[in-house]
Each structure stands twice: as structure tokens, then as C-alpha cells.
Amino acid sequence: MPAFRAPRGLRDLLPPERQGLARLEELASKLAARYGYRPIETPLFEQAGVFERGIGEVTDVVEKELFLLQPREEDGERWALRPEPTAGIVRAYVQHGMQTWPQPVKVTMTGPMFRYDRPQAGRYREFWQFDVEAIGDPGPAVDAEIIELADRFYREAGLQNVVIQLNSIGDPVCRPAYVAELTAYYRAHAAELPPLERARLERNPLRILDSKDDALAALNAAAPKAIDRLCAACAAHFAGVRAHLHAVGVEYVLEPRLVRGLDYYTRTAFEVYPAGATGQQAAIGGGGRYDGLVELLGGRPTPGIGFGLGLDRVLLALEAAGAATNGELAPLAVIVGSAPDDTLTRLRLATELRSAGLASRAELGTRKLGKQLEAAARDGAHFAVIVGDELSGGNVQLRDLEAGTQRAVPVANLARELERASRTHRHGLAAAGGTAGAPDRET
């Protein structure tokens, strides 16, 4: 047993897995840019109040899952690691007067989030989200655009079969009456509620509706639906969202029990699952409208909508579907040589290839050529550049490690030859490794 281990529920992302995540991060940032979202970065931790007030005190995320940092007396400040990105981004929007920028402000962020959750498969205490937020547009067209963006992300990542669940949960005009009706409904069935849910009954009955507890399935299925109680403005907004989704060809299913885990949502709420999967750990993304949040965090009333997609779970879903998760893994070429001590030439050649934009690794040890070639093959490199006596005549041998063929190439043309050869090979995919660092199991 090693003396130290990563904290429970936190994983080391070893090279194959980190590269899979990097591929998704790159896809996310390019896709968001295609829709006009610009990158933003907020701190990994904030004043705890940003989350407590923004997300709501009667939520799992705040009640049970917030990672609070030990306060230092000199600061007198309570801090918490961010459990989700929206509250921090909205805090930044208010702090930096972004309501004076052209509206909506469309921003995107990808990074780790932290929740003190019970670790299990697909549920980690540190996990990565791809997030977009459009602040300052009341919708409904932007709601549909954001859902279409999420839908496209999964498809471009390689997940073809996802199900988008959609609901509207009303606004401060129609929700109070609905919540009162829901409270009365659950009160009448209080005996059927597990203790935690019973405690929530008076404080936040929407949380009961959101519960994935099987024992509540029948009760929740028969509960009054928000979608049947929308005021005229919310109903018109929801019809608008659906019309725009139809116009851009996004399919979805209506899910009346979907209320999302966080308090700040109004109107549009959506969640995404891999086809055939259900349950709390299966959601691969979710989002919604939060028209009250900017005001809650001290700004002027400003509408907003966004989503957070769970990249760890997208990787798991890709693996489950047998799809490739890794990007480029190996150097294109490894420079080896018959004079083991001549590290100088090998390093110089590799440096020249890198200057030409090609991925290469030089053998910088002094083992024999046979061992160097074995290591090159294990690296997953596609080519070996073999430096030998011919170097005095200006040539090296270029060996295709997969095809097993070899030919002399002038050093002066090496970069060009490699570049041409690399275009005809699907480089790197053959070397895909396993996954690393599954979380510890709860015992």
C-alpha cells in the first residue's frame, strides 16, 4: 500500500483518460465559439454565500454536498469549492457590471466542479463540466439554441443516441400556487414519504418531485404537473421554445417531473440521458433558465439560461458504446540511432521536426539500437527515423513501424516526407490504453 492516495472520490486522470477529456474540452471550446460564446474563467472557490444564496439552502448541493474550506481567522470569510459554474459566473457578471455590455453576454467555461457526494460509478467528488451561459436574453429562441448546442455537442463527441428531457417549471407568477398545490398533495400522502423527503415537504416540495427514489415513483407520477399550471406568459414562452426546437430539428421528450436540482431555475428546464439510461447517475447534462438569479446575487433583474454537461459521464457513455475516447496519443516519429552515445544528433533532428510542427521523440538514452526500436514500437510511434553511417552522406532511414518497410530519406527532406506520410495514416488510435483511477467504492 502506498503511503498516500488521492482523496476518496477524486481521481488521477492518467494519460489516456486525460487525453480523452482534453479532446472533449477542445470540442467544447470550438463548438461554443461557433455559436458566439466567449471563454470566461471564474475561481475554483467562492464566498460560500454565492452558492448558498444562488443555488438555494434547501438543495442537496448546498445542504449536503458543499466542500467548505477551513476558514482562517485573519480573513473571516467562509469559502466553498464551486459545485457548479453558474452561480460564480453570475456573481462575476454582477461584480464587473456586465449588464452594460451588449446583451446577451454569452460565455463558456470548462473545468472541474466539486461536490461532497457519495462516490460511486459516474459520481465523483471532482468532475468536469462544459458550461455555457447566455445572460440578458429572455428567450424563447435562445433557450432552443442552447439545447440545440448541447445536442450537437454529444453528437460531435461521438454519442449518437441521447434523449433530451424537457419541462417548464413556471416563474414567480405561477409557481407559488403550483407549489402550494404540490405541498397539499404530498401532505395528504405524508405517510408514504421517506423521512428526508418528509422533512422537505414544507420547505421545498419540488425536491420531492425531483427525487429518483423508486419508492416515490408512483406517487410522483400522479402528482400535479407544473406544465398544466403555467401562467399565460410561461405557457407562451414554453410554446416558443418548442416551436424553435422544432425549427432546428431537435427531438426531445416532455418530462413533467423534471425540476432540476437547483433552486434558481425558472421556466425552461432540461436534462440529457444516454438512450435507455435513467436514474440520477446517468444524466450526462442539464440546464435551464434562471431569470431570478442575477437579482438574487445583487444585480438588476436580468434573465439568463445555461447548461452544464458532465464530461466524465460523456466519456463513460462513449466507452460503454464502444466508441473511441482518445485523441492523439503517441509521437509520430521516434529518432533512434546505431551510435547509442550520439544523443546530440538525435536531439537535434527531433528539435528540427518539432520546429516543423511534427510530434517526435528522440531516444535520449544510450541503449543499443535494437532496444531503442523496441521502445519506439511500444510508444505507439508510427515511424522510426534511424540515424546511421549514412548520415555523413546526408541520409537517414525512415522506417514505417506498422508496415515494416524502410527506405533512405535525405535529412533535408525528412520533415516534408514525414508530414506527407502522416496524412495517409490514422495515427495514434491503435495505441489507446485502458482507463485509470476508478473511484473507491463505498463500503
Query: Which residues here bind ligand AMP, judged by CB under 6 A?
Result: 84, 115, 117, 123-124, 127, 129, 261, 283-286, 308, 310, 312-313
Nearer to ligand AMP, 119 or 331 (CB): 119
Instruction: State the Cα–Cα distance between residues 277 and 298, nearest whole angstrom.
Output: 39
Q: How far apart are the first and last CA of the chain?
A: 18
Shortest distance in whole angstroms from residue 299 CB to ligand AMP: 21
Contact 54, 91 (CB under 8 A): yes
CB closer to ligand AMP, 315 vs 353:
315
CB of 272 or CB of 401, closer to ligand AMP: 272
**C-beta of 4: minimal distance to ligand AMP in Å?**
23
Residues 6+ apart with CB under 8 A from 176: none
Residue 216's SS3 state is helix
Instruction: State which residue, 129 or 168, has the beta carbon closest to ligand AMP.
Output: 129
**Cβ-contact 120, 281 below 8 angstroms:** yes
The string of DSSP codes covering 37-93 is -EE----SEEEHHHHHHHH-SSSHHHHT---EEPPPTTT---EEE-SSSHHHHHHHH
User: Least separation, in Å, of the C-beta of 390 and ligand AMP?
Assistant: 54
Q: How far is the CB of 265 from ligand AMP (least distance, A)?
A: 10
* Helical packing angle, 141-157 and 311-320, nearest 10°: 50
Which residues, at least 6 apart from 442, have a Cβ–Cβ distance to it below 8 Å? 118, 119, 120
Query: CB of residue 293 vs ligand AMP: minimum separation in angstroms?
Result: 13
Minimum CB distance to ligand AMP, residue 153 (Å): 12
Could you give the angle at the alpha carbon of 80 between the alpha carbons of 76 and 85, nearest 5°?
135
Among residues 341, 246, 325, 261, the alpha carbon closest in space to that of 83 is found at: 261
State which residue, 289 or 361, has the beta carbon closest to ligand AMP: 289
Residue 59 vs 302, nearer CB to ligand AMP: 59
> Which of 89, 174 has the CB closer to ligand AMP?
89
* Nearest-CB residue for ligand AMP: 310
Segments of 283-380 assigned E as strands: 285-289, 304-310, 333-337, 360-362
Of 286 and 303, the one with the shorter C-beta distance to ligand AMP is 286
Which lies closer to ligand AMP via its Cβ, residue 208 or residue 385? 208
Burial of 189 (C-beta count, 10 Å sphere; 0-12/13-18/19+): middle
Distance CA 134, CA 113 (A): 20
Give the CA angle between residues 111, 276, 197 to the nearest 5°. 70
Using alpha carbons, select from 302, 292, 271, 297 the residue that is nearest to residue 171: 292
CB of 313 to ligand AMP, least distance (A): 4
Closest distance to ligand AMP from the beta carbon of 84 (Å): 5
For residue 308, the minimal CB distance to ligand AMP (Å) is: 4
Q: Report yes or no: 206 and 169 within 8 Å, Cβ to Cβ.
A: yes
Q: Which is nearer to ligand AMP, 205 or 286 (CB)?
A: 286
Choose between 115 and 289: whose C-beta lies nearer to ligand AMP.
115
Beta carbon of residue 330, minimum distance to ligand AMP (angstroms, whole number): 29
b/e sequence 173-186, b meaning 16+ C-beta within 10 Å: ebbeebbeebbebb
CB of 60 to ligand AMP, least distance (A): 9
Distance CA 80, CA 35 (A): 31
Residue 363, number of CB atoms within 10 A of its CB: 24
CB of 438 to ligand AMP, least distance (A): 13
- Residue with Cβ nearer ligand AMP (283 or 294): 283
At position 274, the amino acid (one-letter code) is P
Cβ–Cβ < 8 Å for 359, 331: yes
